[in-house]
Amino acid sequence: MSVTPAMIKELRQKTGAGMMDCKEALVKSGGDMEKAVEYLRKKGLATAAKKATRTASEGLVASYIHAGGKIGVLVEVNCETDFVAKTDEFQALVKDICMQIAASNPQYVKPEDVPQDVIEREKEIYREQARQAGKPEKIIEKIVEGKISKFFEEACLMEQDFIKDPDKKVKDVVTEAIAKLGENIVVRRFVRFALGETSGN
């Protein structure tokens, strides 16, 4: 049985595991959703979603300077204990997130952080573009929703394709780290400076 993107998406929503892990689980279980969930549970990935509700108040504030001093990033990434914050895996994740911010210039951490007025303004622009293109009114809202999803993928760090592996989103990489390290991990905030810009994020 072939594994479809819809099946992978469903398994990700059920377990919180990363895309490639879900694909592997479905392949190994012959497309059987329940067996795939069981496979991921055994690997410890399905518990990541449960850990995401726990308080994370330890962690690191890290900096990254890129392009010969032309771009700088400061990021705060939280975990639950100082012990995990000191692990090589956690520090490598934080460095990867710094590099992601430097390269992809997100404006927000996640879609929930985007102010409603910004979303409404974007939607109005997309509606007008669709009308100008002569699209029928009945499909304009569908077009707008698709474009808003795309906007989140570009503007929100967690929704961006991971620069080291574009098959994954940044949120998948964080979820995998939660599963591996056994603690909740939260990207709390960041700021990105580019030389000559009038203002940072």
Structural domain contains residue 201: no
pLDDT top residue among 12 and 77: 77
- One domain, residues 97 and 122: no
Q: Report d(CA 150, CA 44) in Å as an integer.
A: 31
Structural domain range at position 168 = 51-110+156-194
Out of 13-27, 34-48, 125-139, least confident range: 34-48
Strands 165-169 and 186-194: unpaired
**Whether residue 165 sits in one domain with residue 121:** no
- State mean pLDDT over 155-173: 95
The DSSP annotation for the chain comes to -PPPHHHHHHHHHHH---HHHHHHHHHHTTT-HHHHHHHHHHHT-TTHHHHTTS---EEEEEEEEETTTTEEEEEEEEES-HHHHTSHHHHHHHHHHHHHHHHH--SBSSGGGS-HHHHHHHHHHHHHHHHHTT--HHHHHHHHHHHHHHHHHHHBGGGSEETTEEEEEHHHHHHHHHHHHSS--EEEEEEEEETT-S---
- Those residues whose C-beta lies under 8 Å from the C-beta of residue 113, and which sit 6 or more positions away, are 156
- The band of 54, judged by pLDDT with boundaries at 50, 70 and 90, is confident
Question: Are residue 106 and residue 69 in the same domain, yes or no?
Answer: yes
Q: Does 104 share its domain with 138? A: no
Distance (Å, rounded) from C-alpha 40 to C-alpha 1?
19
Residues 69 and 13 in one domain: no
Based on the fold, state whether residues 129 and 169 are members of the same structural domain. Answer: no
Residues in the chain: 201
Residues 6 and 9: their CA atoms lie apart, in Å, by 5
Please check whether residues 99 and 161 belong to one and the same domain.
yes
Please, what's the b/e burial string for 141-171 (b: 16 or more CB within 10 A of its CB; e: otherwise)? Answer: eeebeebbeebbeebbbbbbbbeeeeebbbb
The DSSP code sequence of 32-64 is -HHHHHHHHHHHT-TTHHHHTTS---EEEEEEE
CATH of the domain at 87: 3.30.479.20
* Residue 200 belongs to a domain: no
Q: What is the pLDDT of residue 123?
A: 94
**How many structural domains compose the chain?**
3
If asked whether residues 104 and 55 sit together in one domain, one would say: yes
The answer to whether residues 104 and 160 belong to one domain is yes
Residue range 26-43: average pLDDT? 87
Instruction: Report the CATH number that the domain containing residue 42 is assigned in CATH.
Output: 1.10.8.10
Q: Do both 122 and 102 map to the same domain? A: no
> Using one digit for the tens of pLDDT, what is the confidence trace for 62-77?
999 987 899 999 999 9
Asked if 98 and 161 sit in the same domain, the reply is yes
